[in-house]
Amino acid sequence: MKNKAIVHIMNKKRMNAPDIKVDLDAMEELWNKYGINNIIFYKGEKVDYSHLISKLEKYGIYTQNYSNRQDLIDKVKEFNEKFEVIFVYTALELMINISNTLRQELGLKVSDNPNIFRDKSIQRKLLQENNKELGIKFLKGEPEKLDIDEIEKEIGYPFIMKPVNGVQSSGVVKITKRSDFEDYISNYKDFHDRLKARGIENKELIVEEFIDGNLYTLDYFVTDKGKVIFSKPAQEILGIDFGINDYFVVARIASKKVEDDLEGTGLKKFIEDTIKACGVRNTFVHHEFKLTSKGKLKTIELNGRFGGGRVDLFKEAYDMNLFEMLLNPKVEPGELKKNNIVFNICGTKRGKLIGFDEKLFESIKKRETVVNVIFNSKKFIGKETGLTKDGFTKMGTIKLVSTDFDKIMKDYEYIKARYKKLLIIKTREEIIEEKKQENSKKGFFQKLKDLIP
Name the residue among 351, 236, 230 with its Cα closest to residue 285. 230
pLDDT at position 445 is 52
> Which architecture characterizes domain 137-209 according to CATH?
2-Layer Sandwich (3.30)
305 vs 219: CA distance, rounded Å: 8
| pLDDT higher than 70, residue 451 | no
155 vs 105: CA distance, rounded Å: 41
| pLDDT higher than 90, residue 199 | no
Cβ atoms 39, 62 nearer than 8 A = yes
| pLDDT higher than 60, residue 337 | yes
Q: With bands split at pLDDT 50, 70 and 90, how would you rate the model's confidence at 195? A: low
Which three-class secondary structure state does DSSP give residue 298? strand
Cβ atoms 324, 297 nearer than 8 A = no
Report, as an integer, the average pLDDT of 319-326: 97
Which three-class secondary structure state does DSSP give residue 424? strand
pLDDT at position 187 is 82
Name the residue among 365, 352, 444, 431 with its Cα closest to residue 398. 365
Beta bridge partners of 87: 6
Strands (E), 255-360: 283-291, 297-303, 339-345, 351-356
Report, as an integer, the average pLDDT of 109-134: 93
Q: With bands split at pLDDT 50, 70 and 90, how would you rate the model's confidence at 194? A: low
Which residues 6+ apart lie within 8 Å of 413 measured at CB? none
pLDDT at position 429 is 86
Question: Average pLDDT of the chain?
Answer: 91
Which residues 6+ apart lie within 8 Å of 167 measured at CB? 93, 94, 195, 198, 200
> Which architecture characterizes domain 4-105 according to CATH?
3-Layer(aba) Sandwich (3.40)
Domain extents in the chain: 4-105, 137-209, 214-426
pLDDT in tens, 24-51: 999 999 999 999 999 999 998 887 765 6
453 vs 248: CA distance, rounded Å: 60
| pLDDT higher than 90, residue 53 | no
pLDDT at position 48 is 72
Which residues 6+ apart lie within 8 Å of 409 measured at CB? none
pLDDT at position 51 is 61
* Burial per residue of 145-158, b for 16 or more beta-carbon CB atoms within 10 angstroms, e otherwise: ebeeeebeeebeee
| pLDDT higher than 80, residue 166 | no
Q: How many Å is the Cα radius of gyration of the chain?
A: 24
Which residues 6+ apart lie within 8 Å of 96 measured at CB? 90, 117, 118, 303, 304, 305
Beta bridge partners of 160: 174, 208
pLDDT at position 258 is 97
| pLDDT higher than 90, residue 409 | yes
pLDDT at position 15 is 81
Q: CA dihedral in degrees (9, 96, 163, 120; nearest 10)?
A: -160
How remote is the C-alpha of 430 from its chain's centroid? 31
45 vs 173: CA distance, rounded Å: 39
| pLDDT higher than 70, residue 202 | no
The angle subtended at Cα 47 by Cα 37 and Cα 391, nearest 5°, is 90
The angle subtended at Cα 389 by Cα 384 and Cα 395, nearest 5°, is 50
- Which position has the higher pLDDT, 284 or 440? 284
Q: How many CB atoms lie within 10 A of CB 258?
A: 18
How remote is the C-alpha of 158 from its chain's centroid? 24
| pLDDT higher than 80, residue 170 | no
Q: With bands split at pLDDT 50, 70 and 90, how would you rate the model's confidence at 54? A: low
pLDDT in tens, 380-398: 999 999 888 777 889 999 9
pLDDT at position 201 is 63
89 vs 100: CA distance, rounded Å: 9
Q: What percent of the chain has pLDDT over 90?
A: 73
β-strands 297-303, 339-345 pairing: unpaired
pLDDT at position 200 is 62
pLDDT in tens, 65-113: 999 999 999 999 999 999 999 999 999 988 999 999 999 999 999 999 9
| pLDDT higher than 80, residue 447 | no
pTM of the model: 0.91
Report, as an integer, the average pLDDT of 146-157: 96
pLDDT at position 206 is 92
Q: With bands split at pLDDT 50, 70 and 90, how would you rate the model's confidence at 335? A: very high
pLDDT in tens, 343-375: 999 999 999 999 999 999 999 999 999 999 999
Report, as an integer, the average pLDDT of 1-28: 89
Instruction: Please name the fold of domain 214-426.
Output: D-amino Acid Aminotransferase; Chain A, domain 1 (3.30.470)
